[in-house]
Amino acid sequence: MTRYTFTRGLSYAPIVAASERVAWTVDGVFQDRRFDASRPIVPPSWVGTAGLRFLNEADQLVLNHCRAFSYVHLLRNFEEFVPPHLTGSATDAWHDDRARLRTLFRFGEEEMKHQQLFERAERVLEESCGHGFRRFFDDGGARVTEMTQNLLGHSPLGRFLIILALEWGTQRHYVESVHGAAVTDGLYADLLKAHWVEEAQHTKVDALEIAALAETMSAEELTAAFDDLLAIGALVDAKFAEQAKREVETLVGVRGRDLPDDESAKLVRALHASLSANMAGVGLGHPRFALVARELSAEGAAKLGIA
Ligand SMILES: [Fe+2]
Ligand SMILES: [Fe+2]
């Protein structure tokens, strides 16, 4: 038991059991299916370009497919740092509670599986759409290696907080895909669902690990962890900005038309804003994340705009 209410009712053994019950395989999710590229694949709200009058319907469709790609491409690469981050937590207390260690390793293994799911989705999107997508993270892995090292240089609590936010965000993405069933591709919706059912267990592990770390920290240290979270957020947001530029490059290549500089800049800004809002904003603004933030440090939470 911890003094934090956000851990109420949580313990490691039931998390392992739930994780075993909901587990899936990448092949089982895909079942040799493809995405339907004749229609939007993700909700248009994810793209946020409906108000840009210089884009026609065909442009909007390509941008929608770009966003479906960017989402899996970015998540695949962001999740790379999670297994080494969790391994660090496990080795801090080796010979600890068996259920805790199993949970941490299982959580890490699931993230490795998610990377495979997203990598497959990137490939199948390219096959289904009949063209490639420009990507920020290069095939050689230099950029993801650099980002992973940067992320691992931040405090364990800051890292757990960004993971928790991103994971609560995946719940929103799944729920939106169900409510917006008419605009979300069936395979894509299944992929979001598969991801969330495992992330739902991870949010519980995060809560327990966050509480254990927080109990060893002073009020000042807890507040400082939110500065660290903001620094991690800025690091991640810079990747969103880069990928937004790649989306415009893909659009120009696929549609075979040049955009005037002012329209191109406006489009990059809109795409960057929607990537940030949809991938980080929904998690950092999620009520369940706010609950944890507030209880850890009201002063720290206020830095995120959480009252
Ligand atoms: Fe994941
Ligand atoms: Fe996760």
The structure tokens 């944890």 sit at 292
Asked whether residue 180 carries a pLDDT value surpassing 80, the answer given is no
**How remote is the CA of residue 165 from the centroid of ligand 1, in Å?**
12
Q: Are 37 and 129 in contact (CB under 8 A)?
A: yes
Ligand 2: distance of its center to the CA of 111 in Å?
A: 6
Total-model pTM: 0.96
Please tell me the distance between residue 260's alpha carbon and the centre of ligand 1 in angstroms.
38
Q: What is the pLDDT of residues 222-262, one digit of tens each?
A: 999 999 999 999 999 999 999 999 999 999 999 998 899 99
Alpha carbon of 223 to ligand 1 centroid (Å): 27
Distance 131 CA to ligand 1 centre (A): 26
What is the number of the ligand closest to the CA of 202? 2
Query: What sign for the dihedral angle of Cα 89, 91, 95, 99?
Result: positive
Q: Which residues of 157-186 are buried (b: 16+ CB within 10 A; e: fewer)?
A: bbbbbbbbbbbbbbbbbbebbeebeebbbe
* CA of residue 159 to ligand 2 center, whole Å: 12
Q: Which of 42-56, 87-101, 283-297 has the lowest mean pLDDT?
A: 87-101
Residues around ligand 2, an ion, CB closer than 5 A: 167, 199, 202
The rounded Å distance from CA 132 to ligand 1 centre is 24
Q: What is the pLDDT of residues 85-131, one digit of tens each?
A: 999 998 887 777 899 999 999 999 999 999 999 999 999 999 999 99
For residue 302, the CA-to-ligand 1 centroid distance in Å is 27
